[in-house]
Amino acid sequence: MPNLAVLGLQWGDEGKGKIVDILAERSDAVVRFQGGNNAGHTIVVNSKKTILHLIPSGILYENSVCIIGNGVVVNPQTLIEEIETLRKSGIKVSPANLKISSNAHIIMPYHIRIDLLRESSKIGTTGRGIGPAYEDKIGRRGIRMCEFINPSTFKQRLEEFLEEKNMLIKFYGGEEFSIDIILSEYLKYSQFLKDYVFDTHQIINQYISDKKNILFEGAQGILLDIDHGTYPFVTSSNTCSGNIYSGSGIGSGKIKKIIGIVKAYTTRVGNGAFPTELEDSTGEFLRTQGGEFGSTTGRPRRCGWIDLVALKYAIDINGVDDIALTKIDVLSGLDEIKICTAYKLGNEILPYFTNSNEILKKVTPVYQSVKGWGVAFPKDIKDYSQLPNETKIFIKKIEESLKTKVSIVSTGPSRDETIFKENIWE
């Protein structure tokens, strides 16, 4: 199997976890390269649900080494909890199959507090400290894994930064931190995690030289990308394919295929423009049928029709080779399915997507309709040819408009509810 990457092409929660889990069966390593525990990736195996926030979605396979790359921001407490939860359900997790980059930055408790205090800014963040942690990374005030696991360096770094953080917390009206309290808790975490820390870029490049199969797992979605998303209603990292290279430490040309995950409709958690949003009974239908409640915060996800204008942009920005279309089963029962094919601004049709939140708020989606395929989605479909005709027409429309083939169709949350329409491994 060549090296593959799985990226979300909408506003997150497209079903990346499920697809990564499926592809991980044939992978030697799965690498996360950005984001943090703002992500919530769900895997369902034999009706058992596992939600992963930081650990790559390959962890359920013993053969897969899971790597948390340098581009990720790591909350040590969440990571340890995730390791322990997995162990309790019988999954082996050790430094042999989980490796964290020595250059990954730590999410400190003050990052979380600042994130929560600032939420008056109405981004609708997950409150996990992601933005403040990336700010400190770029501002060269961050603490990296390699510093965190060395108690004297960790203490020194904290002494250097805490006063400034406390000033900020005070400014926002929050409670300040004492260095001793942070140290007493975080030194325990660092001792737990120290054996998991490696120069992961070296390991990944060695795997590449050894022709091992690597799967890169994106978090969030392209419309939440710090540069290309609907700024400022975005996350604080680059979610696009360009960041696979810097977030894991590999050179360009090492990835054979970028697989874009597309939900058969659109969802968004948090605030910001959403042209095809449905604030009516159809939106409610999608939310209920699709179980659209955040895997991380439990918030109801905003729901709307599939948006080919935004998807065309996402494909361009990421250089997507193949699409995995998920949650097609959720549309069952609708008489008519709408597909947004253009935006109108006043009387004009916009020639291309814009990531300007202000303009997106004003556009009117132009829809084409296709016929639905009846109430219950047929179970146990193994082959594309067994899909209802109306479903195939819907998929064809997506492929033709986006000039990209749909290679995987997901018809339910479980591993066995997956159709390989094309051979993505060749």
Q: Which residues are catalytic?
A: 13, 41
Shortest distance in whole angstroms from residue 131 CB to ligand IMO: 5
What does the longest C-alpha to C-alpha distance in the chain come to?
A: 65
Shortest distance in whole angstroms from residue 99 CB to ligand IMO: 20
Give the chain's end-to-end CA distance (angstroms, integer): 7
What span, in angstroms and rounded, lies between the C-alpha atoms of 189 and 100? 14
Q: Select from Mg ion, ligand IMO, ligand GDP, none the partner in contact with residue 18, using the beta carbon and a kind-dependent cut-off of 5 to 8 Å.
A: ligand GDP
Shortest distance in whole angstroms from residue 155 CB to ligand IMO: 28
Q: Select from ligand IMO, Mg ion, ligand GDP, none the partner in contact with residue 123, using the beta carbon and a kind-dependent cut-off of 5 to 8 Å.
A: ligand IMO
Q: Select from Mg ion, ligand GDP, ligand IMO, none the partner in contact with residue 327, using the beta carbon and a kind-dependent cut-off of 5 to 8 Å.
A: ligand GDP
What span, in angstroms and rounded, lies between the C-alpha atoms of 96 and 288? 40
Shortest distance in whole angstroms from residue 148 CB to ligand GDP: 27
What span, in angstroms and rounded, lies between the C-alpha atoms of 106 and 91? 25
Q: Which residues of 229-255 are buried (b: 16+ CB within 10 A; e: fewer)?
A: bbeebbbbbbbbbbbbbebbbbeeebb
Binding mask 361-380 for ligand GDP (x = CB under 6 A): --------------------
From 326, 355, 391, 404, residue interacting with ligand GDP (rule: CB under 6 A): 326
Helix (H, G, I), strand (E, B) or coil at 93: coil
Q: Which residues of 40-70 are buried (b: 16+ CB within 10 A; e: fewer)?
A: bbbbbeeeeebebbbbbbbbbbeebbbbbbb
Helix (H, G, I), strand (E, B) or coil at 67: strand
Beta bridge partners of 105: 73, 144
Least Cα distance to 423 among 17, 23, 30 occurs for: 23
Q: 76: Cβ–Cβ under 8 A, 6 or more apart, which residues?
A: 106, 107, 148, 186, 189, 190, 192, 193
Q: Is the CB of residue 58 less than 8 Å from the CB of residue 20? A: yes
From 8, 15, 35, 40, residue interacting with Mg ion (rule: CB under 5 A): 40
From 413, 419, 421, 424, residue interacting with ligand GDP (rule: CB under 6 A): 413
From 5, 6, 7, 13, residue interacting with Mg ion (rule: CB under 5 A): 13
Residues forming the site for ligand IMO (CB under 6 A): 8, 11-13, 38-41, 123-126, 128, 130-131, 219-221, 224, 233, 235-236, 269-270, 295
Closer CB to ligand GDP, 12 or 229, in the complex:
12
From 291, 336, 361, 369, residue interacting with ligand GDP (rule: CB under 6 A): 291
Based on the shown chain and the rule CB under 5 A, indicate whether residue 221 belongs to the binding site for Mg ion: no
Q: Where are the alpha helices (DSSP H) in 28-150?
A: 76-88, 109-117, 130-138, 145-148
Beta bridge partners of 366: 342
Q: Is the CB of residue 106 less than 8 Å from the CB of residue 153? A: no
How many residues touch ligand GDP under the rule CB under 6 A: the total is 22
Binding mask 289-308 for Mg ion (x = CB under 5 A): ------x-------------
Q: Select from Mg ion, ligand IMO, ligand GDP, none the partner in contact with residue 413, using the beta carbon and a kind-dependent cut-off of 5 to 8 Å.
A: ligand GDP
Shortest distance in whole angstroms from residue 236 CB to ligand GDP: 17
Q: Which residues bind ligand GDP (CB under 6 A)?
A: 8, 12-18, 40-42, 44, 291, 295, 326-327, 329-330, 410-413
